[in-house]
């Protein structure tokens, strides 16, 4: 129903906007809650046991994270008499809130819900979950000052490594995208302390790249790596472009995805954190492996069946083509 859909999308926008605009912890918490409640019907709209299971998992983790956040902010008010987001000073609530927000966006080691949830959703809702739902917690993370840098660095490094290792043995595209999301968020958290503007740049480029990847898979109607082998029959032009999009996600030099990684490594080196930068760069190689694997499945393998008789060589849905064209171009050539 378009009215219900409009209401839910309005709720999503409202929740994020409230969190953006708030300087008081209660208001921020309320925005996060509205956000969660608005996306839950969208996730469960296909009455399929897997979708319902994913929705339940998502609801439980988000409720836990929100309760942690509320508890931490109340503790902070109790200890310091302050409700202001930027006036956080006590280390205990600070740590607790950082962990709560990490659970919200799915940073390692609080990441285990994300691949499971994403696997149960359709690609459109999955896209909303991977992009829009990250905005509000990130706005809060950017506003919190004087967090212990060790926590953020540990979370960031763990996420890049887990995002690399976890994606290696996956055959389902949505799980691969979930691990890719964890790895990208790890990069953003690594640099959060030293250069918030770089975090925002990484977030923005990640959004653009994820958008085009999800739209490509939606257009191919493929959710596993095996299904990609016949994508050349559905959209040959797209199939030749997709490896570039995937390698951009992996962060290879002439493509857009290289830019945030390059600047982040440079900034880490400036901060005398060369070992950290080296570890992060090596963990990016893990992610690169599974992007290469998907590219290989799409472009360098022929399907065993004879499919030339059933080649629908045209775009199936015109409303996808414009956003796809824009985001794909941006993903490949923004550098």
| pLDDT computed for residue 300 by the predictor | 83
CB 73 within 8 A of CB 25: yes
Is 180 among the domain residues? yes
Is 101 among the domain residues? no
- pTM, entire model: 0.94
Residue whose structure tokens are 């969190």:
19
| pLDDT computed for residue 309 by the predictor | 52
Residues 6+ apart with CB under 8 A from 62: 32, 36, 104
Does position 305 have pLDDT exceeding 70, yes or no?
no
Does position 304 have pLDDT exceeding 80, yes or no?
no
Q: What are all long-range contacts of 49-55, with beta carbons under 8 Å and residues at least 24 apart? A: 50/119, 50/120, 51/120, 51/121, 51/122, 53/120, 54/116, 54/117, 54/118, 54/119, 54/120, 54/121, 55/117, 55/120
| pLDDT computed for residue 232 by the predictor | 77
Q: For 145-174, what is each residue's pLDDT tens digit? A: 889 999 999 999 999 999 999 999 999 999
Does position 314 have pLDDT exceeding 80, yes or no?
no
Q: Which domain holds residue 249?
A: 148-332
> How far apart (Å, rounded) are the C-alpha atoms in residues 291 and 2?
36
CB 162 within 8 A of CB 73: no
Is 313 among the domain residues? yes
Does position 79 have pLDDT exceeding 60, yes or no?
yes
Count of domains observed in the chain: 1
> How far apart (Å, rounded) are the C-alpha atoms in residues 217 and 335?
24
| pLDDT computed for residue 313 by the predictor | 55
Is 41 among the domain residues? no
| pLDDT computed for residue 101 by the predictor | 98
Is 39 among the domain residues? no
| pLDDT computed for residue 310 by the predictor | 56
Q: What is the DSSP annotation of 165-217? A: HHHHT--BHHHHHHHHHHHHHHHHHHHHTT-HHHHHHHHHHHHHHHHHHHHHH
Question: Alpha-carbon torsion 114, 120, 122, 125, what sign?
Answer: negative
| pLDDT computed for residue 311 by the predictor | 56
| pLDDT computed for residue 316 by the predictor | 60
Is 267 among the domain residues? yes
Mean pLDDT over each residue of the chain, to the nearest integer: 93
Is 298 among the domain residues? yes
Q: For 85-136, what is each residue's pLDDT tens digit? A: 998 999 999 999 999 999 999 999 999 999 999 999 999 999 999 999 999 9
Is 10 among the domain residues? no
CB 135 within 8 A of CB 16: yes
């Amino acid at each position: 129903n378009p009215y219900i859909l409009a209401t839910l999308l309005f709720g999503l926008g409202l929740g994020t906007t409230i969190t953006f605009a708030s300087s008081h912890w209660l208001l921020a918490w309320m925005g996060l809650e509205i956000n969660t409640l608005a996306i839950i019907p969208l996730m469960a709209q296909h009455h399929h046991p897997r979708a319902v299971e994913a929705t339940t998992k998502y609801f439980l983790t988000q409720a836990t994270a929100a309760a942690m956040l509320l508890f931490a902010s109340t503790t902070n008010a109790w200890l310091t008499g302050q409700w202001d987001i930027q006036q956080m000073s006590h280390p205990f609530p600070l740590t607790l809130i950082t962990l709560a927000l990490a659970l919200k966006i799915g940073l390692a080691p609080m990441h285990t819900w994300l691949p499971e949830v994403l696997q149960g959703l359709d690609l459109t809702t999955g896209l909303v979950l991977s992009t829009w739902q990250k905005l509000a917690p990130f706005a809060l993370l950017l506003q919190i000052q004087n967090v212990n840098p060790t926590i953020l660095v540990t979370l960031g490094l763990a996420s890049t490594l887990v995002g690399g290792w976890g994606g290696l043995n996956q055959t389902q595209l949505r799980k691969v995208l979930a691990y890719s999301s964890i790895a990208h968020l790890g990069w953003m958290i690594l640099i959060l302390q030293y250069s918030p503007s770089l975090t925002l740049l990484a977030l923005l480029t990640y959004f653009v790249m994820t958008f085009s990847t999800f739209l490509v898979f939606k257009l191919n109607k493929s959710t596993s790596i095996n299904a990609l082998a016949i994508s050349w029959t559905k959209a040959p032009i797209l199939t030749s472009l997709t490896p570039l999009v995937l390698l951009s996600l992996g962060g290879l030099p002439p493509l857009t995805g290289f830019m945030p990684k390059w600047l982040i490594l440079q900034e880490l080196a400036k901060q005398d954190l060369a070992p950290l930068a080296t570890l992060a760069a090596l963990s990016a190689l893990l992610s690169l492996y599974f992007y290469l694997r998907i590219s290989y499945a799409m472009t360098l393998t022929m399907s065993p069946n004879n499919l030339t008789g059933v080649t629908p060589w045209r775009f199936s849905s015109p409303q996808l083509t414009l956003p796809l064209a824009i985001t794909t171009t941006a993903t490949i050539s923004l550098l």
